[in-house]
Structure 1
Amino acid sequence: MLDTHARKYVQPMFDKTGKWLLKKGLTANQVTVISFVIGSTTGVFYYFEYTWIALLVLWLSGFLDAVDGTMARNTKTSPFGTVMDVTFDRIVEISVILGIAFRHPEVQWALLLLSVSIIVSMTIFLTVGAVSEKQGMKSFYYQAGLAERTEGFILFSFMMVLEPFVLWVTLIFFIIELYTGFQRFFEAKRILQ
């Protein structure tokens, strides 16, 4: 929801950073890889109880993930860049989930439910993007929903910072993600039939 509706307020920051990185000679795909490398360390930092560093690398990778898309749209998008971006985003999320699971084994069952809900929601999102003739500002049809990447980062952050409530935040995240999956499924039925 925030990625769709609040983007206009932060887009100038992404534009400015993207232009600066392009002037430094970096490509959108290179920034995607940098974002991935930084973000995939989140779970490791969290597991070893460097919670604030985990939060920093998570949000830095998210920022660079938004910048790389801006860079691609200002230069030339590539289908492989889109594949890298979507794949690396999921690996960063997996890193966070694994870091939390290994540090808090008592909530692994809830993290499994959360993972299933993310898989279902992303499957619908990516399938609709692949089969839809609609095009958005991204290289495929972007299906908005209650839980988009920013909401996920906020909830992952709460899971890491509010350790006594990690189970409850995980279950709330699961419900929000499940709702988003249903929301996207019914939108798909409406726009694809």
Structure 2
Amino acid sequence: MLDRSMRALIARPTDALARALDRPGITPDGLTLAGLAIGLGSAVAAGVQWWGAALVLWLLSRVVDGLDGALARRRRTAAPEGSTHSEAGGFLDITADFVVYGATVVGVAVGATTGFDAPWWPFLLVLLAYYINGAAFLAFSSIAERTGRQLDDGRSLSFLGRIAEGTETIVVHALWLILPFWAAPIAIGWAALVGVSAVQRIVAGYRALR
């Protein structure tokens, strides 16, 4: 819901950071892998209840995740006319995002259940909601690309934006790490919100492809 506004808000600082990182030896794929490693570090830190470290690593991983695309676009713009570019980076980026999101849910669940006797099932609901959302928008993106109905907003995939998007995910995962003793209630509310988004995406995708 907030992605479009947030992307416009951070566009200039993100481009400035990408310009500073545009050096030999630094690649968009390298940034993607760095964000993946930092995100997994956040999940591990949450699992052992190092909540402050987990929060810092989580936010840092999302900053790095935003820079890989900005650097890729910068280099694509500077490439000679007529040159081609690979879509492998976009594939790697979305895969890394899925890994980090899922791992962070598991990490918070481990930390919260062992440290605060939280139940497991709210986190399982979040993972189920993530699974359904991922299936919906990945299937839509694939079919839309094949049928010429893709949505182009600068991302690698045709993204069906709804209530729960990347910005909301970053905020909620941060809240888990700031308020781990409330992680289970937050997870219940978040699972419901992501579930509503899944239904919205399924309906919107079906209508768009009819």
Give the TM-score of the pair, scaled to structure 1: 0.93
Out of 83, 105, 120, which is 1:97 matched to?
105
Q: 1:24 to 1:14 in 2, by over 3 A?
A: farther
Q: Which residue of structure 2 lines up, in the alignment, with residue 11 of structure 1? A: 11
Q: Which residue of structure 1 lines up, in the alignment, with residue 121 of structure 2? A: 109
Letter in 1 for 2:40: S
Q: Which residue of structure 2 lines up, in the alignment, with residue 122 of structure 1? A: 134
Larger radius of gyration: 2
Q: CA deviation at 1:24?
A: 5.1
Q: Which runs of 5+ in 1 are unaligned?
A: none
Q: Which runs of 5+ in 2 are unaligned?
A: 77-84
Give RMSD over aligned pairs: 1.5
Q: Which residue of structure 2 lines up, in the alignment, with residue 155 of structure 1? A: 172
Letter in 2 for 1:38: I
Q: Alignment length, in residue pairs?
A: 193
Letter in 2 for 1:103: G
Q: Which residue of structure 1 lines up, in the alignment, with residue 150 of structure 2? A: 134
Give the TM-score of the pair, scaled to structure 2: 0.86
CA distance, structure 2, for counterparts of residue 79 and residue 31 of structure 1: 15
Q: Which residue of structure 1 lines up, in the alignment, with residue 30 of structure 2? A: 30
Matched, 1:82 2:94: no
Q: Deviation digits for residues 115-146 of structure 1, max 9, x if unmatched?
A: 00000011111111111132411222122121
Q: Which residue of structure 2 lines up, in the alignment, with residue 54 of structure 1? A: 54
Q: Is the 8 A contact 2:36 2:96 kept in 1?
A: yes
Matched, 1:63 2:63: yes
Secondary structure at 2:59 match in 1: helix
Letter in 1 for 2:193: I
CA distance, structure 2, for counterparts of residue 164 and residue 121 of structure 1: 27
